[in-house]
Amino acid sequence: LGTLAINAGVSYRATARLIANERLVAHTLRVIAELQTTRSLLTSAETGQRGYLLTRDPSYLAPYNRTVADISSHLEKMASLTASDPSQRQRVAIWSRLVEERLAIARNTIALEKQGNHAEALRVLLDAQSKEKVEQARNMFDEVLTQERRLLEERSGDSQQSAREAMITFTVTSIAAVLFVLAFYMVVRRELRARAEAAREVAEREAWLDTTLHSIADAVIATDENGNVKFLNAVAEELTGYSSLEAVGQPVAEIFQVQDEATQAPMENPVEEVIRQGRIAPPSDRAAMINRNRRALPIEESAAPIVDKKGRILGVVLVFRDVTQRRLMQESARKSEKLAAAGRLAATIAHEINNPLEAVTNLLYLARTSDSPEIGQNYLAAADQELSRVAHIARQTLGFYRESSEPVTLRVSTLLDEVLSVYASRVRSKRITVEKNYKDNITIRTLRGEMVQIFSNLIANALDALPQGGRIRLETAAKPGGVEFSIQDNGVGIPPENLKRIFDAFFTTKTDVGTGLGLWVVKDLLDKQGGTISVESRVAGPSRGTRFIAFVPSMDKQGAASIQQVS
């Protein structure tokens, strides 16, 4: 467009020059024509004058009178036409004056002839001065005419040059315009082809993406920037119970409702969280989705924003999967570990009971074989004490293993002491020092069986890692919403390469005991309750050993975290 505008400007300028030169040529021709007309009128007037003087016939005065009446207007027009040329204007002024003088001589001779003074009239006509005036007028006329013809020649040449330049310019600009139109056509054609190809590729990608999303094993929901559903794949339709026709255009919270798997408390929709925060929502492994039939399905989900090149959120993609089978497998693994723990506990209890039973057997034998009733009574009293000890161990074990599906309020110190009492024989046999740094007034509302299993697994692992004469340190502290406790030992420590795997299922470094599920169960139980666990360990130096730090949230009757201290 810029080039065409320049070409148009150049063409306009050349055409304007051509028109201006043509006007100058036309003006010069008008000047020449007016000059010749004026001379013709002057000649006609002088011819009428001479005819009258020679014949005295008044009819010769008719052309004279007409000429005299017209010649003044032509002289004025000559002055007007040459006004823009100073030199030519001066020549025309001189020539006009000479014409007026010749006309004055003619009027004078005619007047003398009319008065009957014929001789005087002829004398004036033939006077040398009159002839000189005529010659001067003729010379000035020739000079003016010569100048105008020269101007005509120059202006005609300029006009022809302008015509050639205009033709060349027009030809060049026309060719340029044609070339640019062709180039524009080629560019547009290429652009249209590129757009058609891009549209085809987009259509193919959309078809491929649609096929991929519908074929993927996970459920996928895509929304717009306002959280309204735009797409569901087949798996999402199956899990939510809504078809695409029913779901598209609906708020995602109507189609995808989530709650806490353990407490059943409502959770924020991950799509709404992404739109609110403008970034990927952290995945949750304790969420449950409420489908159309109001059935809760345990799921793993993740949500991420869909952004354009400028970073603006265009929508959200939500991916989730049903983990019901995984939960069943995890529950089966927990039960297996629980049975294994029960077996270990049974062995420990059997060892604890065996000693007093052996003592009872010996005391009864001594009482039966004793000759003195008083000594026999002493033996029986001692046997009764040992049996009371066995009964106490049995009652303590039953209380320790009692489990409830409902949260109960527990005193943390009491629960820890009960767990330690189960492993008292191992503590004594390995001469392990137990340091207790916890207060008696901290209570927590939680599931007793799960807390027993958590504490039991951690303390058992610490005992396995300790050498003879080792040390265990137990600490508890009340925190907002729950209790934090730590179990620290000065055992062999955990190598750095194993720290990242110790909470994996079936991972163990023990070759003779253990299933590799103990720490996995601990983390799983804490995750299910919304708690956390971390580990610190060193394998060398004065601070060698391992420390597990766990946070257990307290649950009120609605499942919310709470903590209370009792005096």
CA 491 to chain CA mean position, Å: 53
pLDDT the model gives residue 439:
75
Please state, in angstroms and rounded to a whole number, the distance separating the CA atoms of residues 486 and 472: 10
Strand partners, 223: 229, 316
What lies within 8 Å, CB to CB, of 418 at 6+ separation is 396, 399, 400, 452
Q: Is 63 exposed, middle or buried (0-12, 13-18, 19+ CB in 10 A)?
A: middle
CA-nearest of 408, 409, 446 to 529 is: 446
- The pLDDT assigned to 559 comes to 39
Looking at residue 566, what is its pLDDT?
39
Quickly list H helices, 370-410.
373-401
What residues contact residue 530 under an 8 Å CB cut-off, 6+ apart?
260, 262, 263, 286, 553, 561
Whose tokens are 């060719």? That residue is 175
The pLDDT value given to residue 145: 78
Q: What is the pLDDT of residue 457?
A: 84
Give, in order, the Cα–Cα distances in Å from 412 to each of 72, 263, 408, 436, 564: 136, 22, 12, 12, 11
DSSP code string of 444-474: EEE-HHHHHHHHHHHHHHHHHH--TT-EEEE
Encoded tokens for 317: 């993609």
Give the pLDDT of residue 565: 42
All residue ranges of the chain with pLDDT < 50 are: 557-567
For residue 562, the model assigns a pLDDT of: 41
Do the beta carbons of residue 469 and residue 432 sit within 8 Å?
yes
Q: Is-contact 148 31, C-beta < 8 A?
A: yes
Helix (H), strand (E) at residue 123: helix 118-125
Cβ–Cβ under 8 Å, residues 157 and 164:
no
Scored b (16 or more CB within 10 A) or e, 42-51 reads bebbbebbeb
Q: Per residue, what are the HEC states of 271-292? A: HHHHHHHCCCEEEEEEEEEECC
